[in-house]
């Protein structure tokens, strides 16, 4: 009496997030594309980042140059500079932030819908630059709003802005859409608005957002 050959148990197909890059590339060669809802969501977000048409000082000239045909920023889906913060999801702080303009920058940030991102372009937006000792210059916009990418330079070239944009795209693609590592706009307890500073007796009130920035503690040796 012949034995009936046993049917091998089916091998479960791995989830999109559990296959290696080599396996993914091999599947792609056969016309099979593997993805997940998280990857699809992040892919769409990273390739449709619309900057706000807003400049502060010298770095804004380089930002405008980056939007010209020579640099082809449309490759990254960011050629649509929007005239309204309600239609933009990227704030490029390009130039010196004076204490007179800091409240306006925070207001623009609060008016942008989530998810939104910020690039500090140039030495002035990062730390005050050559004017950091000035009484009316903010020593970094990250004292009031969160910054995702810093682009050093005085001013940075358009190519540097494109590199910063690619760095932002990589951050967006690596985001988790659930769990404790989810970005700010997907956490219900996170606030999308930040306090707008006002002019006090001798400085902005508050002088910084304590949830974002605190002065470093200097420990002096005895």
Per-residue pLDDT tens listing for the chain (222 residues): 556 666 666 655 555 556 787 887 888 888 887 778 888 889 999 999 999 999 999 999 999 999 999 999 999 999 889 999 999 999 999 999 999 999 999 999 999 998 999 999 999 999 999 998 889 999 999 999 999 999 999 999 999 999 999 999 999 999 888 887 888 777 777 777 899 999 888 889 988 888 888 888 888 877
CB atoms under 10 Å from CB of 25, counted, come to 10
Cα Rg of the chain, angstroms: 23
The vertex-82 CA angle with 183 and 194, nearest 5°, equals 40
Answer for the pair 125, 84: CB distance below 8 angstroms, yes or no: no
Which residues touch 97 (CB under 8 Å, ≥6 apart)? 56, 105, 124, 125, 137, 138, 141
The vertex-118 CA angle with 208 and 47, nearest 5°, equals 165
**pTM of the predicted model as reported, rounded to 2 decimal places:** 0.83
Looking at residue 11, its pLDDT comes to 53
pLDDT digits (tens, 9 = 90+) for 15-27: 555 678 788 788 8
CATH class held by domain 50-176: alpha beta
CA distance 140 to 118: 13
Cross-strand bridge partners of residue 94: 121
Burial bucket for residue 11 (CB in 10 Å: 0-12, 13-18, 19+): exposed
Looking at residue 90, its pLDDT comes to 96
- Structure token digits, residue 52: 């706000």
Looking at residue 8, its pLDDT comes to 63
Q: Where are the domains of the chain?
A: 50-176
Looking at residue 173, its pLDDT comes to 92
pLDDT digits (tens, 9 = 90+) for 147-161: 999 999 999 999 999
């Amino acid at each position: 009496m012949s034995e009936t050959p046993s049917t091998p148990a089916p091998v479960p197909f791995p989830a999109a997030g559990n296959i290696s890059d080599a396996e993914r590339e091999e599947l792609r060669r056969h016309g099979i594309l593997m993805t997940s809802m998280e990857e699809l969501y992040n892919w769409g977000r990273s390739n449709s980042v619309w900057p706000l048409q807003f400049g502060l000082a010298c770095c804004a000239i380089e930002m405008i140059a980056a939007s010209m045909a020579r640099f082809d920023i449309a490759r990254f889906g960011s050629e649509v500079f929007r005239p309204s913060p309600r239609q933009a999801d990227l704030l490029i702080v390009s130039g010196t932030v004076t204490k007179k303009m800091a409240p306006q920058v925070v207001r623009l940030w609060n008016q942008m819908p989530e998810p939104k991102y910020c690039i500090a372009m140039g030495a002035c937006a990062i730390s005050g630059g050559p004017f950091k000792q000035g009484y009316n210059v903010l020593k970094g916009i990250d004292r009031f709003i969160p910054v995702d990418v810093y682009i050093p330079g005085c001013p940075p070239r358009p190519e540097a802005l494109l590199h910063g944009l690619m760095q932002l795209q990589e951050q967006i693609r690596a985001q988790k859409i659930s769990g404790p590592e989810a970005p700010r706009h997907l956490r219900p307890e996170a606030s999308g608005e930040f306090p707008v500073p006002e002019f006090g007796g001798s400085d902005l009130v508050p002088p910084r957002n304590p949830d974002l920035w605190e002065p470093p503690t200097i420990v002096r040796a005895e």
